[in-house]
Amino acid sequence: MFATLSDRLADTFKNLRGKGRLSEADIDATAREIRIALLEADVALPVVREFVAAVKERARGEEVSQALNPAQQVVKIVNDELVSILGGETRRLRYAKTGPTVIMLAGLQGAGKTTLAAKLALWLKEQGKSPLLVACDLQRPNAVNQLQVNGERVGVPVFAPEPGNGVGDPVGVARRSIDEAKRTLHDVVIIDTAGRLGVDAEMMKQAVDIRDATQPDEVLFVVDAMIGQDAVTTAQAFLDGVGYDGVVLTKLDGDARGGAALSIVSLTGKPVIFASNGEKMTDFDLFHPDRMAGRILDMGDMLTLIEQAEKAFDAEESAAAAAKVASGDFTLDDFLQQMQQLRKLGSMSKLMGMLPGMGQFREQLANFDDREIDRIQAIIQSMTPAERANPKIIDGSRRSRIARGAGRAVSDVNQLIERFTEAAKMMRQLASGGGMPGMPGAPGMAFGKRAGAKQQAKPKKGKGARRSGNPAKAAQEAKAEAQKPAAANPFGNPGGEEIDYEAAAAQLNLPKDFSKYLK
């Protein structure tokens, strides 16, 4: 979504590297490039002016002039200002103290309200809530049926007493849904309302009537992040006509420039609460301004990546996999299981994009084929259990059979086995505490029982005197050893007495001119 803006800002900051001090011309040039980058990203002009003015004012201040690295300080300033125009801090839902919490969704047709209602219901369900979806979009064809299908997908009931398709009273349905939620003990009600292709008086009146009939705790304006400057106009129209408490951005995974996300908060004063960034029902989460700013500046979003991993990975399976790595018993079945767990996190290109500095590889990430995991799975599942447990037995004829069974070339099988062999070797190296192959071992890199334990160096066994197992004979050997004379000193001092070095030097037949070196 913010690829254009991110690339332009990255190029701007490159010009600042290596400068020990920023001149007035440097600051003006940087501000000009930032202004162009924001305008190209479809950010509203008033927001651009305010943003650039704030950056220039801070860049001229003491925090940059006295900084050891002025370029990094400017990046920090831009990051802070981005967080500020995106809302400053994460805004969370407000829940009712008594009775069901009512959440009303409003927005134009095509913004994705019906799909987002189901995503929100699934998110609330994962938070321990019991949501109820309400079909109040009785205008758009098959809107009621779509909500019922989505509700079934996420396992959330749908209250839809009217068939829709232009039939029924949406205000009456909304009012009755509150009583239905109380009767069935649902603590959250999500009302999906009708939209139009454009803002009109009829739609506004219906939304206002539903709002007055249900007294929602939260009114969320759902906006398509791909519609550019129109998003700000529509957001202001809904704010004046209906009023809302927060914004939900949809289609953040699109290829639009994303200026709407940077403009709505600043111009309307309403925070972005949620963001939808994919087609799956799980592609939905709270909107974090600081994390979004980090993505725009190519600093990554490790917190979101960690949270997704914690939700997708099973703790027991992860512990079992770590134990197998520690024991060195890592098979192709385990390798496939790790690949399948990664798939639960979503698109690999999206995951890699959350890592810092991956903006420079954006083109490669965009061309990454997520079906590669399917091909790996087909090859591994074409092997016998014995071959998966011990790939060393896979000779040429077996590789040909596996390739035919998976519908792949023999070279693909060879490549997979080579990858697995290298991965297993690296894991064994890590498990033994030796660090990465070819690198010195690092403390704390061991897995399993060895992790965290103090490794005491064992003395090497030399070829010292051997003692007999017979106690009497061992005592005789010890007595004989004690009576032996002390071993001769290799430096010529057998008794250990003090040596007269001057007398010893006088006995040496040295040249006359060499005596000065002995003084």
Spell out the alpha helix ranges (H) of 440-495. Answer: 471-483
Integer angstrom CA distances of residue 320 from 310, 326, 426, 427, 448:
16, 10, 18, 14, 10
- Ligand-binding annotation for 42, yes or no, is no
- Ligand-binding annotation for 282, yes or no, is no
Instruction: Enumerate residues 6+ apart whose C-beta is below 8 A from 103.
Output: 93, 120, 188, 189, 190, 191, 216, 217, 218, 219, 220
Report CA torsion sign: 284, 357, 337, 379: positive
- Ligand-binding annotation for 112, yes or no, is yes
- Ligand-binding annotation for 38, yes or no, is no
Q: Are 151 and 187 in contact (CB under 8 A)?
A: no
Q: CA-to-CA distance for 489 and 471, rounded, in angstroms? A: 32
- Ligand-binding annotation for 252, yes or no, is yes
Instruction: Enumerate residues 6+ apart whose C-beta is below 8 A from 415.
Output: none
DSSP letter for each residue of 337-398: HHHHHHHHT--HHHHHTTSTTGGGGHHHHHT--TTHHHHHHHHHHTS-HHHHH-GGG--HHH
Q: CA-to-CA distance for 288 and 125, rounded, in angstroms? A: 20
Q: Which two tokens stand for residue 319?
A: 């512990």
Q: What are phi and psi of 276, to 5 degrees?
A: -110, 125
- Ligand-binding annotation for 407, yes or no, is no
- Ligand-binding annotation for 105, yes or no, is no
Q: Which of 251, 249, 238, 247 is nearest to 271 (CA)?
A: 247
- Ligand-binding annotation for 230, yes or no, is no
- Ligand-binding annotation for 196, yes or no, is yes
State the DSSP code for 248.
Answer: E
- Ligand-binding annotation for 416, yes or no, is no
Q: Are 95 and 127 in contact (CB under 8 A)?
A: no
Angle at 383 between CA 380 and CA 388, to 5 degrees: 75
- Ligand-binding annotation for 467, yes or no, is no
- Ligand-binding annotation for 194, yes or no, is yes
- Ligand-binding annotation for 464, yes or no, is no
- Ligand-binding annotation for 195, yes or no, is yes
Q: CA-to-CA distance for 263 and 231, rounded, in angstroms? A: 9
Q: CA-to-CA distance for 60 and 27, rounded, in angstroms? A: 8
- Ligand-binding annotation for 109, yes or no, is yes
Residue numbers in the known binding site for GTP are 107-114, 192-196, 250-253
Residue numbers in the known binding site are 107-114, 192-196, 250-253
